[in-house]
Amino acid sequence: MRVAILSILCAVAYRGLLKFDPYAGVRGRPEIADDLFFLPGVSHPGLVVGLAACLLWVRVRNVDEAHAGRMGSALAVFALALAGGLSVWGHLASSGYSQILSLCLLIPGLALWLAGPVAARAVALPAAMLLLAAPPPAVVVNAIVFPLQLATTRFAAWILAALGRTPFVQGDTLRDGGNLFQVIETCSGYRSIETMILATLLYVGLTRRNAWVTTILLLAAPVIGFVANGIRVVSLVWFPSSPLQDVHTLQGLLMFSGGLALLLGLDRLLVGFWKSRRVPSPAPVSPRSEPKRALRWGAATALVGILAGLSLLPLSTVWPAEPTPARIPLRFFPVSLGGWEGRGLGVDRDFLGNTRFSEWIHRRYQRGDEPVIDVFLVADERRFLHTNVLSPKIVVPGRGFDLMALGREPVESLGGSVDLYRASRGNEEALVFYGSQNLGSLLNEAVDALFTAGLGPGEERSRSVAFRLMTPLEKGPAGRVEAVGRVRDFVPYLSSALRALDQPVPLWEP
């Protein structure tokens, strides 16, 4: 009865997680196979929470009255206090990620407080599974997906070369014979890795593997997901005319089945090595061994009850967030800049994939007969979790490009330095300048998105901007000097235009 009451209160306190989706409303309606196996930035919170709840019940159904070891004290109080603080902050800042972290701490904290370390270890896996209930914010996904695309491209080329083919890799593209294959985000392996981790958590939780086997399998899960996806990419390159190319559901099922086969094979090897298939259930101990059990249950119920009550209050209105001041839109970026005349260019949405932003312009500027400078300018108003301009794909000019870092170049008109790269694709060579304004490091942006999403209480945010300048690069040292000089001549006009746009939008008064 006490467990049922505690469970109901937890469900009330954290009911918002079932509808938390930072990418809601920005996607179409993909196939179910795309959702489960391919698309980054997709979550099924109902499915994950349901699986975690089932696993939790399986692992602790004998722990309620069968206490093993001493009940936790200091560590349990710390975990519960941190969980409560995160929950309150999540309501104040409307942060779903804070709520997820709170629940992940609350479950083992309650187990440690009420039933000791054995119970806490039993619920650790279901609690960890809840971390997959929502996709990471865009800044985290952006930082992971493109390197995975590049790694998958090279892994597939390595397999093809081992099989006697002669693949050629450039950036995220793979050429095999007369066929050119682009490893887009759905082929990166991100989602297959995530799905394999979820499956491994469920598997080791149900089979009660010991700590060593569990740890090795969980560490191997991302590798298995990556390898399974890489083999799928090889099959698509090897058989470019196969009907399987367009049947995503079958692709996903075959890839997932292959990953599970690798996981089970590794599990059999590990179990045979450790000669252990199950972790023994906790030994029953007389209820009289803990005279303060009733007080502990009362304290735990009171804590979760308070969190449930707070979840029913409109806390986000108590300390409202300051909206991001509206700025002059990027579409007003000048077409003419000190004799440079610009014309519009499009963007490659297949290449950008999950990289989203509030605004963008892409123009090609030219002055007289001088070589052109392509300007790609993106901005984020910091109003949504699915947008962020911190992405390696802002730096890369497009599909098939390889980048080589050339260091940093001080630019006084921008008040700092910019990153310098050499971009190459086939016979095309270009110099790339990359810079940003009002944009923090990856760690700062990730922490901000996880805990406040830029919408935190009382915090006013500025629009973040990133830009890429690209100009043709002639071979030799003289070519680099000429290209750098050309871009440095253009940068003051860019800087002046950015300062003009970084102004609040005038309010219209009747």
One DSSP character per residue, 36-62 reads III-TT---HHHHHHHHHHHHHHHHTT
How many angstroms separate the CA atoms of 366 and 320, rounded?
47
* pLDDT for position 319: 57
pTM of the model: 0.86
Band of residue 426 on the pLDDT scale cut at 50, 70, 90 = confident
* pLDDT for position 278: 52
Residue 459, pLDDT > 70, answer: no
Q: What are phi and psi of 170, to 5 degrees?
A: -140, 110
Band of residue 203 on the pLDDT scale cut at 50, 70, 90 = very high
Q: Which residue has the tokens 């008109």?
A: 413
Give residue-wise pLDDT tens across range 43-56.
778 888 888 988 88
Q: Angle formed by the axes of helices 190-207 and 211-238, to 10°?
A: 150
Band of residue 121 on the pLDDT scale cut at 50, 70, 90 = confident
Q: Angle formed by the axes of helices 248-274 and 211-238, to 10°?
A: 150
Residue 243, pLDDT > 90, answer: no
Domain extents in the chain: 2-144+183-317, 330-501
Residue 287, CA distances (Å) to 64, 115, 270, 312 in order: 10, 11, 37, 35
Give residue-wise pLDDT tens across range 249-286.
677 778 888 889 999 999 988 888 776 445 455 444 44
In 218-261, beta strands by DSSP E: none
* β-sheet with 179-182: strand ranges across: 167-170, 173-176, 179-182
Please compute the mean of the pLDDT values over residues 30-34 and round it to a whole number: 51
* 118 or 102, greater pLDDT: 102
Please compute the mean of the pLDDT values over residues 395-421 and round it to a whole number: 88
Give residue-wise pLDDT tens across range 215-225.
999 999 999 99
Which residue from 147, 250, 148, 260 is spatially nearest to 196, judged by alpha carbons? 260
Tell me which DSSP letter residue 327 carries. B
Give residue-wise pLDDT tens across range 298-342.
888 899 999 999 888 876 655 555 555 678 889 899 999 988 999
